[in-house]
Amino acid sequence: MTNRAMKKISEISTQVSKQSFECTLTVDCAVFGFQEGELKVLLVKRAIEPYQDYWMLPGGIMNADQSVEEAVNSVLFNLTGLDQIHTQQVRVYSDIDRHPVKRVVTVSFYALIKPENHPVIAKNYISDVEWVPFSKMPELGFDHTKIAIDALKLLKANLRDHLVFGELLPKNFTLTELQDLYENILGEALDRRNFRKKILQLGLIENTGRKKKGVKGGPELFRIKKN
């Protein structure tokens, strides 16, 4: 075999080796909101293939000059107009056949916001954006159904161990409103006495010294303690 042929084979082998390890890094985010007494998730409708006209979570490619946290903020703004909202990382998805065209590794996040405080608009390759009750969420494109379910599982785990609800409640809230939120997200009824005891023991909320007007019994209002 000639040196030229050996060199060509070496070049082809190198190219194949590089291609074998090439992949795209993306970020997806399950944005949750509490609206009309139920937990909702923000979905976008994809206007291009693959999965054209499918609903899915907002997501996109991470640029070379971005961290994953910067990327998720950028993607949310570019697709929905959401800007600088607090997100929490969920997990990494790296199954080989996740994408029908190329190898894609995804870092997923979740966020908790009040929909009325954050107007959304479909941008770029998104044809529509909508808040959908999580219980009525359709089958999503790619593996986004699994990503959304995993995000909710982590949210539930965090709720059980910490006081985590982002913007889902007003600045001042009653313990009943807080329990209603927990029960809706967890999907189960909680004992009123035990719930209040646990929440107060966490030491993360404080009594405002005021009562909610227009409600029978005038329930006390609480707020998150400042650090």
Cα torsion 161, 111, 133, 176 to 10°: value is: 40
Q: What architecture is domain 22-161?
A: Alpha-Beta Complex (3.90)
Q: Are 148 and 156 in contact (CB under 8 A)?
A: no
Q: Are 117 and 33 in contact (CB under 8 A)?
A: no
Residue 20 has what DSSP assignment? H
Q: Are 129 and 45 in contact (CB under 8 A)?
A: yes
Q: What architecture is domain 175-224?
A: Orthogonal Bundle (1.10)
Q: Are 39 and 184 in contact (CB under 8 A)?
A: yes
Of 56, 81, 83, 87, residue with least CA distance to 69: 87
The structural domains of the chain, with segments of one domain joined by +, span 22-161, 175-224
The residue type of 106 is T
Residue 18's pLDDT band, with cuts at 50, 70 and 90, is: very low
SS3 state at 82: coil
For the chain, the average pLDDT equals: 87
Q: Is the bond leading into 119 cis (omega within 30 degrees of zero)?
A: no
State how far the Cα of 155 lies from the Cα of 168, in Å rounded to an integer: 13
Q: Where on the phi/psi map is residue 55: left (φ > 0), alpha (ψ -120 to 50), or beta?
A: beta
SS3 state at 168: coil
**Cα distance between the two ends of the chain:** 73
Give the lowest-confidence range in 17-26, 89-98, 130-139, 171-180. Answer: 17-26
Sign of the alpha-carbon dihedral angle for 219, 116, 118, 139: positive
Q: What is the pLDDT of residue 9?
A: 46
Q: What is the pLDDT of residue 100?
A: 86
219-225 long-range contacts, Cβ below 8 Å, gap at least 24?
219/174, 219/175, 219/176, 220/174, 220/175, 221/172, 221/173, 221/174, 222/172, 222/173, 222/174, 222/175, 222/178, 223/171, 223/172, 223/173, 224/163
The tens digit of pLDDT for each residue in 102-161 reads: 899 999 999 999 898 899 999 999 999 999 999 999 999 999 999 999 999 999 888 877
Q: What is the pLDDT of residue 138?
A: 96
Q: What is the pLDDT of residue 168?
A: 79
Q: Do the strands 24-35 and 104-113 form a parallel or antiparallel pair, or are they unpaired?
A: parallel
The tens digit of pLDDT for each residue in 74-107 reads: 999 999 999 989 999 999 999 998 888 889 999 9
